[in-house]
Amino acid sequence: MSGTGMSTLLKIVFRPKVSRKTRHTLASRALRLAALRIALVCACAGGVSYFINHSALEQSVRSQLSLSTEQALQRESLPFREVTDLQKNFLAEFNRIYAIPEARQSLARDFDDIFYRHEDGSYTQRPGLFEGEPLPDGRRFPDMSATYAPDVTPEEDVKTRFALSYLLSYQFGSAAKGRLFNFYGVVPEKGFPIYQAADIAKVFTYEGPDALKLETFEFFSRGFGGPQSDTFFTRIYWDPSNNAWMTTIATPDAPDASGKHRIMACVDVLLDDLMKRTANPTLPGARATIFTADAEGTLIFDGKYSDAITASAGTASISSLALTDYQPLLKASQSIGAGSVSLIDSTSEITAVGRIPDTPWVLAVHYPKSLMRPAILTNLGIVIAVGLLTLFVELFILRSILQKQVAEPLVRLIHATQLVGRSGVTVANDALPTHSDDEIGELARDFASMAARVHAAHEALEGKIRDRTSELERLNQKLLTISQTDEMTGVANRRRFDEVLASELAGLGQGRDLLMLAMVDADWFKGYNDRYGHPAGDACLKEIAGVLERNTRSKQDLVARYGGEEFAIIARIASAGNAPVIGQALCSAMATVKLAHEGSPFGHVTLSVGIALAAPDQNISPEALLLEADRALYRAKQAGRNQAVVAEPSADTQIQQIGA
């Protein structure tokens, strides 16, 4: 700074009175100089940041895209891996049993027990089997149906294989129920049993235009049309009954020396869930495509071409639709191993391509490069914001020049800010430089006004906090009550019972009263549930709880649900003679309700009560007292129920029994 500029600045700092015009000039000059420097820094830093961030962000996107696609490949392969493993296990079990001569003889007999012949020559399972009716030997096969072509007479070997396929299809299909849509084992003689929710015996016919012709189905012709034994997927097809796209996964067995197959395991897979997950990739803004890794790139799913897939009945492909942008993806899929991912760059997209393990399908996740632009601009904005922050640093540099007019008043303001908000503390105006005729003075006056408002707001906030604290305590008390109450009956729960019993026994020595523990059990309650159903049983328990609460003597007595149909009552009584009276009163009160119970010899719901007493001078644990009450309850049950039995805590443990 030149000597003339320094002289002018000193005159401004130490001038006794500063006009508003001069004050603004000082601030504006400082700000203009700082703004000019920051603008130059921001321009340079912004340009460098843009290129660096673009490269770093693209690298990050590529890494995330590759990782998320690899995870998706492994996740999507799991259900198909389960299917192929299940089919291989099915074939292994089939071959193991088929190799046993005794088993084949038994299976041939099973064929006659399970299937019957229709007039058109076809075979299906016997009526009622699908609905769960048992065979004469007691075996049941619910949800299992079967159909067998009428133009092939079933000889002994066919019967053996068809019956074995039926039994194993039920075994493997029921084990995977809820995870697979169906499971079936097909024999080459055009017959198959299937485990699924629909009865195929009522669907397929062998006469007329709708006659079943298995040889026209892709899974049948491919599976039995050659010597292969590898698992394969059929083309996707639309199933109108489920309103969904499907594919059939099939695994034929190894053919014999003549090239003939004996069995093939099949599962029809609904593709809805796969397509929904594919439509929403993990990386926001991305979209996905699934196609078959064949020469044509047959499309399985693509949101952009779903209409074309539907119109072509699932035969649309990358080649048939002339999707030139997808050609690099199709080419890359030919050399990618299962579970591996390759990134393909185009002008507008970065695409991750990977083979889904255990399937012939390829997953491609498309990420538009345009999505990176907002993030780059955001980072650029951050750089500019940092530059603006530097502007404030520059202003603090002027502190050494404006010490008198800025620093000292700021110290006083800082001290005042430390007092603002403290309970009961107000900031006096004479503690602030409110008389300064400059920006600091204006700031001090505004601060004083703000401090007064903050103090008033603080006082109001403390009042609200006190109100909220009171409300919170009330709600906590309500939550405590809920946590100690049985949800169904409305009486205390087991947790509350344990706490009160322990507390009452601990304070028993402080008075003369006896502590009575009554265990109350509904007689023949299981029979009640079985006869009337669980909703009626719940209503019965609520009625019992109401009877017990209405017949307790004071608010200090506790009625609790001990568990199931068993309740407990904790009460203080003056003498042991009151215990049998109380117990009998409970039995009588319940009998008065006349709640019908046809499974009870009394014709209505009754109670059995076991009572144990604890004296003030008796050191007894909750467990011991519960055991005495349980034993008394057991005696009441043994004596015919609908009565109360008191356990006498004497040396010879005499039991006083009160009849109904």
What's the confidence (pLDDT) of residue 158? 93
- Res 80 pLDDT > 90: yes
Please state whether beta strands 115-117 and 123-125 pair in parallel, antiparallel, or not at all (unpaired). antiparallel
Q: At what angle do helices 622-638 and 494-506 cross, to 10 degrees?
A: 120
- pLDDT above 70 as % of the chain: 83
Query: Tens digits of per-residue pLDDT, 292-331?
Result: 999 999 999 998 999 999 999 989 999 999 999 999 999 9
- pLDDT above 90 as % of the chain: 54
What's the confidence (pLDDT) of residue 21? 47
Query: Tens digits of per-residue pLDDT, 161-187?
Result: 999 999 999 999 999 998 888 999 999
- Res 650 pLDDT > 60: no
What is the CA angle 451-452-453, rounded to 5?
A: 90
595-603 contacts at long range (C-beta below 8 A, 24 or more positions apart): 595/540, 595/543, 597/524, 597/527, 597/528, 597/531, 598/531, 599/524, 599/527, 599/528, 599/530, 599/531, 600/523, 600/524, 600/527, 600/528, 602/523, 602/642
Find the mean pLDDT for residues 485-502.
92
- Better pLDDT: 122 or 481: 122
Beta carbons within 8 Å of 259's beta carbon, 6+ residues apart:
227
Which of the listed ranges 240-244, 363-367, 431-435, 645-649 does the model predict with the highest average pLDDT? 363-367
Range 455-491 burial, b when 16+ CB lie within 10 A, else e: beebeeeeeeeeeeeeeeeeeeeeeeeeebbbeebeb
- Res 641 pLDDT > 90: yes
Average pLDDT, the chain: 84
Q: Quick one: which of 412, 430, 623 has its CA closest to 517?
A: 623
- Res 423 pLDDT > 60: no
Which of the listed ranges 275-284, 413-422, 543-552 does the model predict with the highest average pLDDT? 543-552
- Res 548 pLDDT > 50: yes
Q: Which two tokens stand for residue 210?
A: 């709708």
| Contact present, 366 and 323 (Cβ < 8 Å) | no
Query: Tens digits of per-residue pLDDT, 203-212?
Result: 887 777 777 8
What's the confidence (pLDDT) of residue 273? 86
Check: pTM over 0.85? Answer yes or no.
no
What's the confidence (pLDDT) of residue 12? 42
Which of the listed ranges 66-75, 196-205, 370-379 does the model predict with the highest average pLDDT? 66-75
Q: CA–CA separation, 199 vs 267, rounded Å?
A: 16
- Res 381 pLDDT > 90: no
| Contact present, 614 and 640 (Cβ < 8 Å) | no
- Res 652 pLDDT > 50: no
What's the confidence (pLDDT) of residue 545? 92
Query: Tens digits of per-residue pLDDT, 130-149?
Result: 999 999 999 999 999 999 88
What's the confidence (pLDDT) of residue 648? 72
- Res 31 pLDDT > 70: no
Find the mean pLDDT for residues 355-384.
84
Query: Tens digits of per-residue pLDDT, 218-237?
Result: 999 999 998 989 999 999 99
- Res 494 pLDDT > 60: yes
What's the confidence (pLDDT) of residue 9? 41
- Res 348 pLDDT > 70: yes
What's the confidence (pLDDT) of residue 375? 66
- Res 8 pLDDT > 70: no
Find the mean pLDDT for residues 376-380.
70
